[in-house]
């Protein structure tokens, strides 16, 4: 136990990297997911197919397979990116597919009548999106988006397998160097638990903020 | 391919049809450009050469990867055999009225839903052997998968149990059934029928978890692919093919899930219950 406390700097450094990966991956996923959702709901058929292929592909790819493909495969085609950037990109790509599906189901959940009424009173496309569709869609999107955040936070641990010095890898390193045993894993587990529960708490707060009070 | 989203768009008039036609051509051109650029990048580094791809048509290579696939299926099946019943049991404990049963189950579920699988695998590899817990390599991979997925499955089952209308349980007690009989005869069968698609999704997640054999050293598909690259140095080809196999497998499972969902929704009574369906109920199950 005291070994873990003596080397807690390593763990905190790893946790910082985990946080960075999580935030970068999640923001990237939101961006990619929004673009993909726009593609999937657009009336342009090639964009719908493109979005559909993206979602189906990246929902069904194991994150570790994607990471290994990026880290070990891409240098073969001339693209050498740092481990951290590859991990962030893979997390964003993978989670973006789930974000896209969450957004699409949010948009489809608001009921045809709302959108038709918005068009009937003369709102333009962007106006009806801003005032009618998206506020209501967001309400049902919050919970799935929080789930994706937790998925990204826990998925960032896989970056340890490709060389990123985040929390899981630091724990593994401590065990290989100093054989600290269970306390290091308990400490790392507590930190991940705090991250996941924190994300859930933020999500709960957002859900209450946007809830319809009847 | 999905049809046009009717929530956002009315049927297009002449001007909209022209705009859509233009956008179709432009987007087709852009997508084709992307694909061509990717192929050029591959070709410029010699990755399109036939001799880098043809080895995968020879039986020894295919056989090597198939052995990995067999390992993947073994891990997935064994993990599924344990995770589903344990998850169902945990869910029943979690909804129990007895706090002595409920609290340990809640703690287990909340803890193992919030911890990454890789951390548990490393714990089994590096920490637990010091305390005498040293199972075989296969189990060092399978047991953490079972632990994490049973927690996630417990949440799926619990969402299903909560989605069964309360009137069902109340009617069960009204006709004189005791709690465990109400659960067994009335609630659980309906709950399972509601969450079957989510269960298949979670099973897909379980299959994706098996790729952690790469970390453990157990020869499932990911690890076999990596072993192959050590000998052949055909990195991008091997990993691309392995990734495609996973996508294909999981896509087929997704097709099964959608077919099951369609079969359930085809029955009027079940459709009313399924309308209360929880959907993607399990956080942390997604990105793995």
Which ipTM did the prediction report? Answer: 0.90
Distances (CA, A) of B263 to B249, B266, B271: 21, 5, 10
Interface of A with B in 113-152 (CB under 8 A): 115-116, 119, 125, 129, 133, 144, 146-148, 150-152
Q: What is the DSSP string of A20-57?
A: HHHHHHHHHHHHHHHHHHHHHHSS-HHHHHHHHHHHHH
Q: Is the pLDDT of residue B283 over 50?
A: no
CB atoms within 10 A of CB B199: 22
Q: Is the pLDDT of residue B269 over 90?
A: no
Distances (CA, A) of A22 to A15, A195, B216: 10, 10, 24
CB atoms within 10 A of CB A157: 28
Closest residue in A to B120 (Cα–Cα): A185
Residue B278 or A141, more confident = A141
Range B138-152 average pLDDT: 95
- Mean of per-residue pLDDT scores for chain B: 87
Residue B77 or B57, more confident = B77
Range B60-83 average pLDDT: 93
| Contact criterion met (CB below 8 Å) for A110 and A118 | no
At residue A181, the 3 state secondary structure works out as coil
| Contact criterion met (CB below 8 Å) for B35 and A50 | no
To the nearest whole Å, the CA of A71 is away from the closest chain B CA by 10
Q: How confident is the model at residue B1 (pLDDT cuts 50, 70, 90)?
A: very low
Interface of B with A in 119-138 (CB under 8 A): 119, 122-123, 126-128, 130-131
Range B109-133 average pLDDT: 91
A contacts of B197 (beta carbons < 8 Å): none
| pLDDT, tens digit only, all 214 positions of chain A | 777 778 888 889 999 999 999 999 999 999 999 999 989 988 888 999 999 999 999 999 999 999 999 998 888 888 888 999 999 999 999 999 999 999 998 888 888 888 889 889 998 888 888 888 888 888 889 999 999 999 999 999 999 998 888 999 988 888 888 877 888 899 999 999 999 999 999 999 998 988 877 7
Instruction: Report how far residue A47's alpha carbon sits from residue B1's, in angstroms, rounded to the nearest whole number.
Output: 10
Q: Is the pLDDT of residue B250 over 90?
A: yes
Residue A176 near chain B (CB below 8 Å): yes
Residue B196 near chain A (CB below 8 Å): no
Q: Is the pLDDT of residue B268 over 70?
A: no
Pick B1's closest partner by Cβ from A48, A63, A105: A48
To the nearest whole Å, the CA of A205 is away from the closest chain B CA by 17
Q: Is the pLDDT of residue B271 over 80?
A: no
pLDDT above 70: percentage of residues in chain B: 91
Q: How confident is the model at residue B285 (pLDDT cuts 50, 70, 90)?
A: very low
Structural domain of A48: 2-210
A contacts of B108 (beta carbons < 8 Å): none
The CATH number given to B54-274 is 1.10.3720.10
pLDDT for B66 equals 92
| Contact criterion met (CB below 8 Å) for B196 and B187 | no
Interface of B with A in 43-82 (CB under 8 A): 44-45, 47
Interface of B with A in 150-169 (CB under 8 A): none
A contacts of B285 (beta carbons < 8 Å): 147, 151
Distances (CA, A) of B190 to B92, B160, B165, B168, B179: 14, 8, 10, 10, 16
Range B238-257 average pLDDT: 92
Q: How confident is the model at residue B2 (pLDDT cuts 50, 70, 90)?
A: low
SS (H, E, C) B16-85: HHHHHHHHHHHHHHHHHHHHHHHHHHHHHCCCCCHHHHHHHHCHHHHHHHHHHHHHHHHHHHHHHHHHHH
Q: Is the pLDDT of residue B249 over 60?
A: yes
B99: its two tokens: 């706090």
Instruction: Report how far residue A108's alpha carbon sits from residue A48's, in angstroms, rounded to the nearest whole number.
Output: 15
Whether A154 and B284 lie within 8 Å, measured CB to CB: yes
A contacts of B117 (beta carbons < 8 Å): 154, 157
Range B215-238 average pLDDT: 90
Residue A3 or B137, more confident = B137
To probe the interface with B, which of A25, A43, A100, A181 has the most B CB atoms within 10 Å? A43
Residue B15 near chain A (CB below 8 Å): no
> At A38, which CATH number?
1.10.3720.10
**pLDDT, tens digit (0-9, with 9 covering 90-100), for B40-70:** 888 888 877 878 888 888 888 899 999 999 9
To probe the interface with B, which of A3, A64, A131 has the most B CB atoms within 10 Å? A64
pLDDT for B127 equals 87
Range B108-132 average pLDDT: 92
The top-scoring range by mean pLDDT among A11-15, B146-150, B268-272 is B146-150
DSSP B95: T
Contacts of A209 (CB under 8 A, 6+ apart): none
Range B103-127 average pLDDT: 93
Residue A69 near chain B (CB below 8 Å): yes
Pick A77's closest partner by Cβ from B1, B2, B45: B45
To the nearest whole Å, the CA of B178 is away from the closest chain A CA by 35
Instruction: State the distance between the two ends of chain B, measured CA to CA, in whole angstroms.
Output: 25
pLDDT for B57 equals 85
Q: Return contacts of A191-195, CB within 8 angstroms, 24+ apart.
A: A191/A11, A191/A15, A191/A18, A191/A167, A192/A18, A192/A153, A192/A154, A192/A157, A192/A167, A192/B114, A192/B115, A192/B116, A192/B119, A193/B111, A193/B114, A193/B115, A195/A18, A195/A19, A195/A22, A195/A153, A195/B114
Distances (CA, A) of B239 to B65, B114, B223, B260: 11, 29, 10, 32
Q: Which residues of B231-261 are buried (b: 16+ CB within 10 A; e: fewer)?
A: eeebbbbbbbbbbebbbebbeebbeebeeeb
Instruction: Report how far residue B82's alpha carbon sits from residue A85's, in angstroms, rounded to the nearest whole number.
Output: 37
Domain boundaries, chain B: 54-274
Number of domains comprising chain A: 1
Q: Is the pLDDT of residue B178 over 80?
A: yes
| CA-based nearest residue to A26, from A87, A112, A108, A73 | A87
Whether A154 and B288 lie within 8 Å, measured CB to CB: yes
Whether A150 and B212 lie within 8 Å, measured CB to CB: no
Range B260-264 average pLDDT: 84
Distances (CA, A) of B184 to B92, B99, B265: 10, 20, 23
Tell me if the pTM is above 0.80. yes
Residue A166: Cβ-neighbour burial (10 angstroms; 0-12, 13-18, 19+): buried
Q: Is the pLDDT of residue B286 over 80?
A: no
Q: Is the pLDDT of residue B84 over 70?
A: yes
Report phi then psi at B12, rounded to 5: -75, 140
pLDDT for A42 equals 87
């Amino acid at each position: 136990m005291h070994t873990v406390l003596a080397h807690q700097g390593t763990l905190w450094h790893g946790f910082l990297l985990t946080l960075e990966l999580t935030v970068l991956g999640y923001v990237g996923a939101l961006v990619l997911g929004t673009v993909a959702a726009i593609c999937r709901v657009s009336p342009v058929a090639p964009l719908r197919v493109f979005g559909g292929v993206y979602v189906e592909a990246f929902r069904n790819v194991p994150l570790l397979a994607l990471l290994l493909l990026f880290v070990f495969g891409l240098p073969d085609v001339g693209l050498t990116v740092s481990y951290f950037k590859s991990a962030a990109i893979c997390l964003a790509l993978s989670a973006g597919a789930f974000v896209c599906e969450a957004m699409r189901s949010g948009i489809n959940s608001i009921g045809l009548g709302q959108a038709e009424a918005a068009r009937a009173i003369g709102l333009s496309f962007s106006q009806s999106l801003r005032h009618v569709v998206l506020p209501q869609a967001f309400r049902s999107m919050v919970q799935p988006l929080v789930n994706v955040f937790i998925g990204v936070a826990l998925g960032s641990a896989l970056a340890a397998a490709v060389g990123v010095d985040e929390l899981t890898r630091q724990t593994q390193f401590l065990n290989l160097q100093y054989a600290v045993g269970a306390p290091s894993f308990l400490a790392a587990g507590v930190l991940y638990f705090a991250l996941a529960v924190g994300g859930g708490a933020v999500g709960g707060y957002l859900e209450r903020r946007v809830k319809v009070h009847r | 391919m999905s049809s046009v989203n009717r929530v956002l768009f009315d049927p297009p008039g002449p001007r909209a049809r022209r705009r859509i036609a233009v956008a179709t051509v432009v987007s087709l051109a852009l997508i084709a450009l992307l694909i061509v650029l990717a192929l050029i990048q591959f070709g410029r580094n010699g990755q399109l050469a036939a001799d880098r791809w043809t080895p995968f048509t020879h039986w020894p290579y295919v056989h090597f990867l198939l052995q990995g696939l067999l390992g993947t299926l073994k891990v997935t099946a064994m993990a599924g055999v344990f995770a589903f019943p344990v998850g169902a049991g945990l869910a029943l404990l979690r909804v129990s009225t007895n706090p002595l049963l409920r609290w340990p189950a809640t703690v287990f579920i909340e803890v193992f839903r919030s911890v990454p699988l890789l951390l548990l695998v490393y714990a089994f590899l590096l920490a637990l052997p010091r305390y005498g817990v040293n199972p075989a390599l296969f189990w060092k991979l399978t047991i953490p998968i079972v632990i994490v997925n049973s927690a996630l499955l417990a949440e799926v089952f619990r969402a299903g149990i909560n989605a069964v209308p309360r009137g069902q349980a109340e009617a069960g007690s009204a006709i004189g059934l005791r709690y465990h009989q109400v659960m067994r005869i009335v609630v659980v069968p309906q709950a399972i029928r509601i969450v079957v698609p989510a269960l298949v999704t979670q099973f897909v997640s379980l299959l994706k978890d098996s790729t952690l054999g790469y970390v453990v050293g157990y020869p499932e598909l990911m690890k076999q692919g990596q072993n192959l690259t050590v000998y052949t140095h055909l990195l991008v080809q091997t990993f691309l093919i392995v990734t495609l196999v996973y996508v294909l497998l999981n896509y087929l499972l997704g097709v099964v899930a959608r077919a099951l969902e369609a079969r359930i929704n085809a029955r009027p009574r079940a459709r009313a219950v399924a309308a209360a369906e929880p959907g993607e109920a399990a956080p942390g199950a997604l990105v793995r």
